[in-house]
Structure 1
């Protein structure tokens, strides 16, 4: 069982994330549940499981149990309600974010980019900023891209059930999606990734959502609605959104490039 052995530091950002070394010798970014961000950990868990199933470049993560006595040395969580489980994502070293690269980097794993864009539209991730991608330079201006921080899927890190009934169904303003779109050579990548997402078994989606820990502020009824909305967006809304994306974003970018 993975156990924490050393606290390192608080990470930048608003999500109360902390860098902690575990007994496997590796560092993990650990997020605790905090007031005002009630759905952040559930969002991270669902995104991670679906992203891994789709073979998207997302750092390894898992649920961990950090003992109260260890958590007592973590700054800034004294006011938090203790939960049995926390969300821990492997810390990726030697990388930069999207703000630190040129306007036209070459993404080595470009075959994953259409999947990431569809993933964000499916889950209604409104926070795919340049800070939420990690780029590892393999040679000058050639990068391997990974995606992080999915605390704001379903449009918010503190959504309530009624919010799921009115999720956006239009194009996102995302410079990061445009950066990715420039590196996608063939529009058929979107069609292939849509078919992959639509092939995910309903039972798997239900199981992933059911495994959200009970003390993570998601009610049984909310879990049912999460599954319902994931299925509806995937089958009814996502195809329309991607056609809009291709028409308004992808094709103009490549027409201009040509």
Structure 2
């Protein structure tokens, strides 16, 4: 079992994330359960598992037990509420966020970008800001992209069951989605990703949700509601959102790009 060895530092942001070296020699970003943000870790877990299944560039993650002796030795962690299991994701070094990266001319893994956009709409993640992508320059002005921080899927980190039934279906004003859409080569890629999302087995979704630790305080009814929401949104809302995004965001961006090249 992987165990925490060295506490490094608290990371920026509101998600209570800490950089810790583990016994496998790797650094992980560990997000701790915290009052007021009770849904952050369940959201991270469900978002991570579905993102990985879809083949999206999400850093490896897992539910991890943080031993009390380790936590109590670190002042930044000692104040945490007494919850045994936290969510850890592999730290990707040498990256910039979307604000820091300049002159992005190419994204190596651009075949994932349509999937990321639809994934965010499916799970109602309205927090895909430039801070929630990582970009590593592999050649001049050419980057590999990862998505991080699924803490605010399902509308936020403090949702209640009734919120899941009324998640929005409007287009999100996201400069990050626009940036990604620029590098999606064919609009057909959106429909391929939609089909993939619609064929994820419901049993798999149920199993992912069932693995949420009891300590994260998601009731049986709420777990059932998560699966119902995922199934309903992918069948009803997502096809309409996909068409709307292509018509109102993707095509205008690419038309503008063609015009600028022609002048």
With the shorter chain as reference, the TM-score category is over 0.9
- What's 1:20 paired with? 20
Moved more, 222-231 or 160-169: 160-169
Post-superposition offset of 1:79: 4.2
- What's 1:48 paired with? 48
Q: Is the 8 A contact 2:123 2:154 kept in 1?
A: yes
Matched, 1:224 2:224: yes
**TM-score in terms of structure 1 length:** 0.98
- What's 1:113 paired with? 113
Q: Is the 8 A contact 2:9 2:18 kept in 1?
A: yes
Post-superposition offset of 1:217: 1.8
Number of residues of Structure 1 aligned to a counterpart in Structure 2: 258
SS at match of 1:101: coil
Instruction: Give the distance between the partners of 2:224 and 2:77, measured in 1 at CA.
Output: 30
Post-superposition offset of 1:83: 1.4
Post-superposition offset of 1:103: 5.4
Q: Is the 8 A contact 1:122 1:238 kept in 2?
A: yes
Trace 1:1-258 onto structure 2 (pairs within 5 A).
Answer: 1-102=1-102, 104-258=104-258
Q: Deviations over 1:17-46 (max 9, x none)?
A: 101110000000001100110000000000
**TM-score in terms of structure 2 length:** 0.96
Q: Deviations over 1:58-96 (max 9, x none)?
A: 000111111111111333444432112110000000010
Unaligned regions of 5+ residues in structure 1, if any? none
Q: Is the 8 A contact 1:104 1:179 kept in 2?
A: no
Unaligned regions of 5+ residues in structure 2, if any? 259-263
Cα root mean square deviation, aligned: 1.0
